Structure 1
Amino acid sequence: MLEILLLVEEKKIMLHKIQLKPYYLPILIVVGCLVFILNLDALYINIMEARNFITAREMLTHNNWIFTTIDLMPRYEKPPLPTWLTAISASIFGIKNVFAYRLPAALVSIFMVIMFYKLQLKLNIKKYTAFLGSLILMTSFYIVFSGRDGQWDIFTHSFMVACCYFFIKMIELEKHQYQNALLAGLFFGASLLSKGPVSLYALFLPFLVAYAITYKFKTSPALWKSISLFIVVGLISGTWWTAIAHYYDPEAFAEVANTESTRWFSYNVRPIWYYWSFFTQSGIWTIPALMSLFYWYLKPRVSNFKAYRFYFLWTIFSVILLSIIPEKKSRYLLPVLIPLAMATSFYVEYAIRNFKDNFSKLEKIPVWLNFGVLTLVSFALPFLLYFGLKETIWEMKYQYLLFSIFLVALGILFVYGITKTDMKLLFSLQVLMIVGILSFGFPLLKLIAPERNSPNVAQIRSYIEENDLNMYDVSGLFPELIFTYGKPIPLSIEEYGDDLPSEKEFGILVNEESTPEWRSRFEKYQLRFVDTLNLNPAISKGNNVRLIRNFYIATKK
């Protein structure tokens, strides 16, 4: 009888453990959907994604799947894998649907978070710490921005994270070694086919160096065979498109290759120390990220020193390699944020476990500063929105009120967490803040959308179609306009030949500040000014002259 009672009690304990088991991966997927997919079409498109979307659209409208184009001109600057995925999404959900064009980047961001989490488990990091790191990764500023934006950086680095995961499985001599080598090679190739060797240089190479220093590499004849398979599969799957484009369109491809290679050393050149504020790109995690870089401070305090050391070195080596290249842009720091998120999670975990009992007054300062700033932002943002948008805000009053209620409630919870010194609650609220901004705040971006300006692109196209005219641009490629316009706008500028359009009457768009001599080419035409098209955000009309075109009707005299 006693044995039966003990068995029943044991079953109850096991059932209780099962019920309390944290489902970290499903939670990450749900949060990932909220962060990357919800209100995905709220933000107006920028120049980078406009270029990519035009290329994807022309795959569908002109069948340019291999020899990629923008405004029907060759575009070989970027390999085509992300563009293919984007074109497929647009073919399913609608060629005019911005959500459809951005969806692949959002999905691949969620995929990156999943592979990142699995990578931590492979390195024997505790599930809870890996969970924290994954939450920090997906709510870091530039990860959020890239995952919700139609840029190809997120593709190349997401595929490389998957490559790192299967590469570790391969070198640890697990079962199915050749299968892991094949998968690592395919994801390596997918990364190359997304943005060339960018992630190889900025993410994979520092990963290898940091891993070699921290964990060492096991060697065996079988491993060398697997590595050979990995290299062959990676290079073939990642470079075949480059070979085809170079072979069949050598002149255009060579011109692009020359331009892109020289840009690394002559375009947007910044000093070598330009990236050393890299931790600020993590946005809401800036202060914890900075604290995670105090290596000698955290060394005796983290739960897994070996793993922390690996991610610290991976972060630093990535920054160093990026700093060597003369061309520098903030968005190039995206790969640094991946290992930095995990390094930050070790500091966050340490704070959660030890803040009440083991933190000195000095140690508590950055923690209180972090949550003090977030509390202040929570209470201040509703007022900043009101004074920034003024009466316009009342066009979406219910959305504004909902967002304001969320922010005030969040601020109150921050105050409560601070008074109770509940670090777990406070760091959870930090994640919730990003989710809430994207869920309740992003719809308000419609109030500053360029299509609110008058005339907008739809009105210009309607005017052109009603008068049965063709449209030309005499000031150079304007990607945001071309994508919104819905079809190519041919260029009529001197570098593309002196021939003017053959029609007797046609529309022209001109940026008179960038092309002041344009009228000399139209001396035989009567020019009638119609209106000014402005694609700046509605609250900052005129700030960026590149986004302004004067619209004329040219009629042959």
Structure 2
Amino acid sequence: MDISKNISNSFVIFIIVIVCLIFTVNINLVDITIMEARNFVTAREMLLENNWLMPTFNGEPRYQKPPLPTWISAISTLIAGTKTLYFLRIPGFLCLALIGITTYYFSLELLKNKIYSIVNSFIAITSFYTIAIIIEAPWDIFSHSFMYLAIYFIYKNLNNQKYYFKEILLIILFIACSFLSKGPVSVYALLIPFLISYFISYPISIGKKLARILPIIIAGILIGSSWYIMLLFQDSENLISTTRKETLNWANYNIRPFYYYWSFFIQSGVWAIIGLISLSYPYYKHKIKSYKEYKFTFLWTVIGVILLSLIPEKKPRYLMPVLIPFALNIGFIYRYLISEYNKNKSAKIFLFVHYLLICSIGLSFIIVKLYIFNLSINFIDIILSILSPLILLKLINIKFLTIKKINIISLLIIILSISNSPTLILKTNKDYKSVKNLNSDELEFYTNYLISPEIIWDFGKKITRLNDLELRKITQNRKKFGMLTKDPITTKDTLINKLNYTIELISKHDLNSTSKKSRLITYYHLFTPN
């Protein structure tokens, strides 16, 4: 009996969304990151200043990133407020769900099989950096999820003889949304590799298809560029300055060798072993039934890595878009290994190592908490400690579960482990002290250095940065005010000590919950006129 016939697409979408929301169960245990803080502070200032088109960060123009993710964060703030990070992070996880849903429908186009498509979608949403990017760099997940959806409709358009006006509009819309999320990044890292790999894998009527699809893509890019065009007229000086700085970073900042990304498969996390095997294209190309589709996803992955490697500036998170076609590629080999489990010794060994890794992860939570960190266990820990030994029993050849059931159990372990991983974060800094209690309407606060975004977020409102001249002007008002400084003010600070103010060091504030980062430490001084 083919159970896939009884599975509706809407049910699959529901399950993918629910799984992505399960990932958020303990997400409040994760401290805000510097990139999140920049996004959320900008969103907060959008609401306070009612300035949606020319975003600011701590009162200064913030044009490094387009505004769509910040608009979405601002809407989340309007709905849920800013007392918890949870609701501000939910849009990112919904974008993760969008990647899972798109993978499902894309796989249906490639494979015409619902079960295979569901497996591919779960590989995509459980790959390590696809999830980590939501917290580390919120803009990326928006940009890549929108572009991926656009690529799905481009793929359908290229394979259809007829023009579908609705699909054309959706391609334009989602390319524009991607461009409004992080500029041309997804065009370069996801769309261009897709087009190259598609036309290599399906070299039929290339000129005709390009003539049909390129104007649609260009239309999406032009609409997505509308924000930049608006800024050219409204604030060209700051836009040009920001663009010049960002462009210089690509060539001069965080420079890494060409081969830096060659270990990209590790970013898929628990799928890394099968991911590495899936790159053995010459060996598996005649073993996979859907040979052309396997070739297509393999080329899409490899070309993406090559194009990213050409850019001098390299960071691990820049690899995230490669994990999207890589999930499709892994799916081919994963299904092949499962089908060959009882026939092929190498397939059994590869899956044995894969399942052993998953089993170890599942069991590690309760072991680490009880015997290393001395933490209390939760309900998820107990479930994981029950499910993980089931895989272990299969591995030692006790045949009470089929390989298909083991796959379902392994996916459950992966999902629960992702949800449970924040509970292993130890808040070890006894000196932790927030700055949010300093915020009041009675006292103005300033800073004299480039203060950390996390501190600005925690404070709850803008902290104006003053240069020497601005500080002199402020003190002419002879009003009491607060100052957050990088270091305690000493007698060596001759300018500050000549202001005819009594300067009192009130408190040290350390926002580090674990490791010590100097940028998360600030000193509160009270300036009182003599």
Q: TM-score, normalised by structure 1?
A: 0.86
2:446 equivalent among 458, 472, 478: 472
Q: Is the 8 A contact 1:535 1:547 kept in 2?
A: yes
Offset, 1:231:
3.4
Where does residue 425 of structure 1 map in the other structure? Answer: 405
SS where residue 464 of structure 2 aligns?
coil
Counterpart of 1:307 (choices 293, 296, 307) is 293
In structure 2, give the amino acid aligned to 1:301.
K
Matches within 5 A, 1:264-283: 264-283=250-269
Kept after mapping to 1: 8 A contact 2:369/2:424:
no
Q: 1:505 — aligned with what?
A: 480
The answer to whether the Cα contact below 8 Å between 1:526 and 1:554 also exists between their aligned partners in 2 is yes
Q: CA deviation at 1:205?
A: 0.4
Query: What letter corresponds to residue 152 of structure 1 in structure 2?
Result: W
Which residue, out of 448, 463, 466, partners 2:427? 448
Aligned to 1:529: 505
The TM-score, its normalising length taken from structure 2, stands at: 0.90
In 2, the alpha carbon distance for the partners of 1:218 and 1:494 equals 66
The letter for the 2-side match of 1:34 is V
Q: Quote the offset at 1:174 in angstroms.
A: 4.2
Aligned twin of 2:517: 544
Pick from 157, 172, 191 the counterpart of residue 170 of structure 1. Answer: 157
Cα distance in 2 between the residues matched to 1:326 and 1:366: 35
**1:55-204 to 2 correspondences below 5 Å:** 55-147=42-134, 151-204=138-191
> What is the CA distance between 1:353 and its match in structure 2?
0.9
**Which sits farther off after the overlay, 69-78 or 470-479?**
470-479
In the alignment, what sits opposite 1:385? 369
Distance 1:189 1:355 in 2: 45
Between stretches 277-286 and 173-182, larger displacement belongs to 173-182
> Partner letter of residue 72 of structure 2?
L
Query: Cα distance, 1:59 vs. partner?
Result: 1.3
Distance 1:518 1:246, change over 3 A: farther
Counterpart residue number, 1:4: none
Rounded Cα–Cα distance in structure 2 between residues aligned with 1:109 and 1:132: 15
Structure 2 vs 1, CA of residues 455 and 491 (structure 1 numbering), >3 Å: closer, same or farther? Answer: same
Secondary structure (helix, strand or coil) at the match of 1:246 reads helix
SS in 2 for 1:552: strand
Superposition deviation, residue 149 in structure 1: 6.1
Pairwise CA distance, 1:414? 1.7
Contact map agreement 1:102 1:150 (CA 8 A) in 2: no
Task: Work out whether 1:374 is the aligned partner of 2:349.
Answer: no
Q: Which moved more, 1:418-427 or 1:376-385?
A: 418-427
Q: Measure the CA separation in 1 of the matches of 2:94 and 2:230.
A: 29
The reply to whether residue 351 of structure 1 matches residue 337 of structure 2 is yes
1: CA distance between counterparts of 2:469 and 2:10? Answer: 54
Residue identity matched to 1:472? Y
Letter of the 2:479 counterpart: K
What do you get for the CA RMSD once the two structures are aligned?
Answer: 2.8
User: Secondary structure of the residue that 1:533 maps to in structure 2?
Assistant: strand
Give the secondary structure class of the aligned counterpart of 2:259: coil
Mapped contact 2:12–2:118 kept (Cα < 8 A): no
User: In the alignment, is residue 491 of structure 1 matched against residue 491 of structure 2?
Assistant: no
Unaligned runs of 5+ in 2: none
| TM-aligned CA distance change 1:460 to 1:128, over 3 Å | same
Structure 1's unaligned 5+ residue stretches are 1-15
Partner residue in 2 for 1:459? 437
Over 3 Å counting, the alpha-carbon distance change for 1:442 and 1:120 in structure 2 is same
| Selected match of 2:388 from 411, 415, 419 | 411
CA distance in 1, matches of 2:85, 2:492: 33
Deviations 1:525-553 (A, max 9, x none): 4332222211112x43xx21111112222
Amino acid corresponding to residue 547 of structure 1 in structure 2 = L
CA distance in 1 between partners of 2:158 and 2:470 (Å): 53
- The CA deviation at 1:458 is 3.0
Cα distance in 2 for residues equivalent to 1:517 and 1:345: 65
1:108: Cα distance to partner? 2.0
SS in 2 for 1:41: helix
CA distance in 2, matches of 1:50, 1:173: 44
SS at match of 2:87: helix
Change beyond 3 A, Cα 1:174–1:102? farther
- Structure 2 CA distance for partners of 1:402 and 1:95, relative to 1, 3 Å: closer
State the distance in 2 between where 1:24 and 1:536 align.
Answer: 45
Whole-angstrom distance in 2 between the partners of 1:88 and 1:449: 34
Residue 253 of structure 1 corresponds to 239
